[in-house]
Structure 1
């Protein structure tokens, strides 16, 4: 179908390329709802979607010195021949994840939203088969990406005892670790370090959402939360720094967990970053935030993409607002993104709330957000996630 619009190297050429790669790093990308697009808009609509999606991937591939292949139907492959370096692979996965988060394709006066799954293999041998296995796990667990590893293998086997043993071992042996990315002010002074969960397992990078989901499903989440909280508090006090931790509405909804969070982080050098989504009931959410605020906990509203929630928040409830990365990335090309950012900035300034520009990956965008009047800045151009020695 796609050949009529965007000729790409074929599967045969992909196989030939894999044979000559010394250190292949392979990313398989599959459009989640492509069958529904075909059923709704026919073959022509499907071809238009694939053509637009191809253009997006080709731009990404060019920017990151990768090669793009069309393998079958709606499955594409991004390939790069490079030795494994943890920071480089993390940057590549993070950049691809951001690019794939909100894909909007115009077609016949409508805007189609695409979601994808990504299977990743860093292995030299049987790279395609391993990336396909990782892709199957990503689909089964409804995750954006999964990296092939023994971790993914265990999930594929669906052996409950093995999964539970793996999570237990990961927690007890410290395989679930924290990396940190700084958030700086206009003078380049670090306000805090955002803690990012990582699974340290045989040179692999795994989506934290995947093992968090499993931990909840297998009833190990509270143990994991306690372990992370203790690590963060210990490090914050040892280093004399502030650390930001991400929480979800599910964490606040559980009364016992909310009480643990309140008690543990009261009057501590910890910032809690919490995302509000439209499906979350506003009043219970606000009450949970008020409970944490009464415990003198610094609160940050994460991934804010409009000003609607801020208009209803009482003054002093929210300390920091992190503007959604999709708005920041589009600031230089999208008037709507710039207007939305300005609206958020004005409202936050009126309520004495600090604002963070996130996902900063270019000097141009950094200069733009500084000019607009953001207070704080975060992104790969400033600091790459790293572990503290």
Structure 2
């Protein structure tokens, strides 16, 4: 108990100066706010007073010149302001002060009711200050001169008409009053302004002194803490705006700088996108460590090659962006060509293997056209894409008149068309038979489910819209549509419980963490057993994200689903990959099967893929089987299954004609 009391006393001894300073600072801040608000209200009232006296003189002059009685009414209205303020001042100078009368007077003077308490407070408690005393003295003096208008106004009120002599006399008096009151009014305004500045200065200095005292008390206690905190904040800020791997600015900082550049209309800025052409091969063959090393190397080389004012950023993966301020089209093209040469000249060796490096570069001139951020990024992306389309390892300058560019831009319309098709269920499911090559085995249904798009009464093949869906990230939505509708149809087909239905999945869906919960829910609703489903993934998409693909496939296999590796032979075909991927079937790409009877290389490729697959314990399916001779050749080689026009063309995938729901066992999807 004694130790606790000593600790508390020690804490109080250390903390009380800080508590006192905080309380004093709070009181001073509150007082400063009150004074500042009062000064603002006082200055506002003075402005209304000055305007009132000026308008009163002006309207009397107008009346004297024109004889129009409407100006007399305006004079009285204007005069009410200084008269109201005068009544308020006299009420406050009375002993004791009449606060209610002062309030009514200031209201008559046009002051806002919320400001009047502040004006009264300032007048009562601070008029002893020299500057305030001088202001009030000038107010009284100017007011005394202004009161000379009252007899003139009264004489005008009692006389409906004035003759020429009266008119000249009134104008002369008004000129004399104006000559006297104008400098007094100005002096009143100047002194009030000076007083306001003095008071604000005093308050500012007082707050600054109090803050300084507080800082001096705290800095010696918190210096190390603040230094540590600043270091963390700087690190977080740098991390938030820079790429961890290369140290370059990231997309967030890049887009912020680009937004600023676009806000300078007419400035000759340029934008550049750079995409490495062989990065995937480096990453796949050498591993992520090789890919990371290449990114660091090319980041360093590109950063050294650009101008000091340029901003190089890593936008993600193997994509880089450069903002080139005040850069002519000729200079931007020259810089782009130099960067292409630098990328091509990189001698990158990893684990004894030398890789050929090149870059596709898109350039956009921002001057002359008004781009939004998204439009500028899209233009640069299109230009970079066109550089790849034209053969890679080149620079393409974005031009609105480029026919190929226009075609690519037109493909963006597919985004809206596909969204509309998803909303309106305009897709149609077809299926194609997959049969055993030797004709043996159970007659269970084995089909690949295919997708078509119906527009204006016509069916469009996947080749028309799948590339756009893949490029613009719509494949996961299409995959879900297919799964949802396929399961609904399978649940109503005879013999579905013993069949096999292959559904294609895109590479993007392999990365979608929400697809597995979605599939579980669809299986639960449809009551289709998971083991009738076989998902086809392409060799390229599987290898591109090998570890993620394996985890994805294992999770679905645990539910009972099977897998087929599609288009095998056109990518980085490898027994190692095949052994690691948990697939049940390997589909031999149809480009080899179609011409295998006339092309010995194709025959050998089919035979090799079949042997590799069987060594890995996988069954094989040959695509594009278009005649009996090909089927016989496949039987000779030992391929397990065949698919193609000879065995059956794609046909609409529909429930049984009876429309009855086929009872299926509940899928185990826990």
| Structure 2 length-normalised TM | 0.32
- Is 2:514 aligned against 1:253? no
Secondary structure at the aligned position of 1:272 is classed as: strand
* Contact 2:475–2:506 (8 Å) recurs in 1: no
Query: Which of 523, 539, 545 in structure 2 is aligned with 1:276?
Result: 539
Shift of 1:371: 1.6
- Is 2:571 aligned against 1:319? no
Larger Rg computed on CA atoms:
2
The alpha-carbon distance between structure 1 residues 312 and 218, as it changes in their structure 2 partners (threshold 3 A), is closer
- The residue number in structure 2 matching 1:121 is none
- Is 2:425 aligned against 1:174? yes
Query: Could you give the per-residue CA deviations for residues 209-247 of structure 1, whole angstroms, max 9, x where no partner exists?
Result: 543455567776544333221111111221124321111
Secondary structure at the aligned position of 2:652 is classed as: coil
* Contact 2:589–2:623 (8 Å) recurs in 1: yes
* Contact 2:594–2:625 (8 Å) recurs in 1: yes
Shift of 1:338: 2.3
Q: Normalized per residue, which structure has more helix?
A: 2
- The residue number in structure 1 matching 2:601 is 336
The alpha-carbon distance between structure 1 residues 159 and 323, as it changes in their structure 2 partners (threshold 3 A), is closer
Query: Which of 565, 580, 585 in structure 2 is aligned with 1:301?
Result: 565
Q: Higher relative CO (CA 8 A, sep ≥ 6), structure 1 or 2?
A: 1
Query: Which of 334, 347, 350 in structure 1 is aligned with 2:612?
Result: 347
Secondary structure at the aligned position of 1:238 is classed as: coil
* Contact 1:360–1:381 (8 Å) recurs in 2: yes
The alpha-carbon distance between structure 1 residues 344 and 225, as it changes in their structure 2 partners (threshold 3 A), is closer
Structural mapping, 1:1-389, within 5 Å: 166-185=417-436, 186-187=438-439, 189=443, 191-215=445-469, 221-239=475-493, 240=496, 241-257=499-515, 259-261=517-519, 264=522, 267-277=530-540, 280-305=544-569, 308-314=573-579, 317-389=582-654
Secondary structure at the aligned position of 1:255 is classed as: coil
Q: Normalized per residue, which structure has more strand?
A: 1
Shift of 1:331: 1.7
* Contact 2:411–2:468 (8 Å) recurs in 1: no
* Contact 2:476–2:509 (8 Å) recurs in 1: no
* Structure 1 unaligned blocks of 5 or more: 1-138, 143-154
Shift of 1:263: 6.1
Shift of 1:258: 5.1
* Structure 2 unaligned blocks of 5 or more: 1-384, 390-406, 524-528, 655-670
Shift of 1:259: 4.9
The alpha-carbon distance between structure 1 residues 352 and 381, as it changes in their structure 2 partners (threshold 3 A), is same
Give, in whole Å, the separation in 1 of the partners of 2:414 and 2:595.
40
Give, in whole Å, the separation in 2 of the partners of 1:381 and 1:246.
22
Give, in whole Å, the separation in 1 of the partners of 2:607 and 2:472.
43
Shift of 1:159: 11
* Contact 2:431–2:651 (8 Å) recurs in 1: yes
Query: Could you give the per-residue CA deviations for residues 317-358 of structure 1, whole angstroms, max 9, x where no partner exists?
Result: 211111011111232123332222222222332333211111
* Contact 1:328–1:337 (8 Å) recurs in 2: yes
* Contact 1:316–1:351 (8 Å) recurs in 2: no
The alpha-carbon distance between structure 1 residues 169 and 221, as it changes in their structure 2 partners (threshold 3 A), is same
| Structure 1 length-normalised TM | 0.52
Secondary structure at the aligned position of 1:200 is classed as: strand
